[in-house]
Amino acid sequence: MYTAKSGPPYRVGTGAYMAPEVLMCRSDYDERVDLWSIGCVMAELLSGKVLFKVENGVRQIDKIFDLLGAPAEETFETFMSPFMCGKVLRRRARLPPPRRDSRLRELLPSDVLSEDGYGVLKGLLTCNPKERLTAATALQLPWFIGTAGVP
């Protein structure tokens, strides 16, 4: 745990697989950051590409928002640390309005990933950690339990 005196926490992990709350230097994250990473790996296995590969100085969080759409303002509060909030909001004010719609389905069309599988992936790659799937919840979805298409 950090204190205001010690400054922001260190980010740990591999950049392309970091959840937004880790990228924003939150220290109170939980196991759902690992579910985000699993979603990144799932998409990579299906598409053959690193989902949020940072190139040419583009920030990781911008890559996430470009693909998944920018979350609503109230969601920003759930994953921004006090150390990053003002800096990010000032920077965002200088940029064009972020996308609000997700392009994830375009990347993984239904011939690559079923609707049930897409539901799992979308639930794992949810910016708001409070809304992100937990492992227990994900494992109860039809894609995992094999009830897809069964009456």
- Alpha-carbon distance of 121 to 47, in angstroms, equals 12
CB 140 within 8 A of CB 116: no
pLDDT digits (tens, 9 = 90+) for 89-148: 545 545 555 556 789 999 999 999 999 999 999 999 999 899 999 999 999 999 988 765
CB 124 within 8 A of CB 108: no
> Tokens 């759902």 — which residue?
32
Provide the 8-state DSSP code for 28: -
* Band of residue 76 on the pLDDT scale cut at 50, 70, 90: low
Q: Which two tokens stand for residue 17?
A: 């697989």
Q: Output the pTM of the full model.
A: 0.77
- pLDDT score recorded for residue 101: 77
* Band of residue 15 on the pLDDT scale cut at 50, 70, 90: confident
Judge residue 64's burial from the number of C-beta atoms within 10 Å of its C-beta, 0-12 exposed, 13-18 middle, 19 or more buried. Answer: buried
Higher-confidence residue of 85 and 136: namely: 136
Provide the 8-state DSSP code for 48: S
pLDDT digits (tens, 9 = 90+) for 38-72: 999 999 999 999 999 877 666 788 889 889 987 77
* Band of residue 4 on the pLDDT scale cut at 50, 70, 90: very low
With a cut of 70, say whether residue 10 has pLDDT above it.
no
With a cut of 50, say whether residue 1 has pLDDT above it.
no
CB 22 within 8 A of CB 12: yes
Taken in order of first residue, the domains within the chain and their CATH numbers are 15-144 (1.10.510.10)
Provide the 8-state DSSP code for 16: G
* Single-letter residue type at 39: G
Q: Which two tokens stand for residue 2?
A: 């950090």
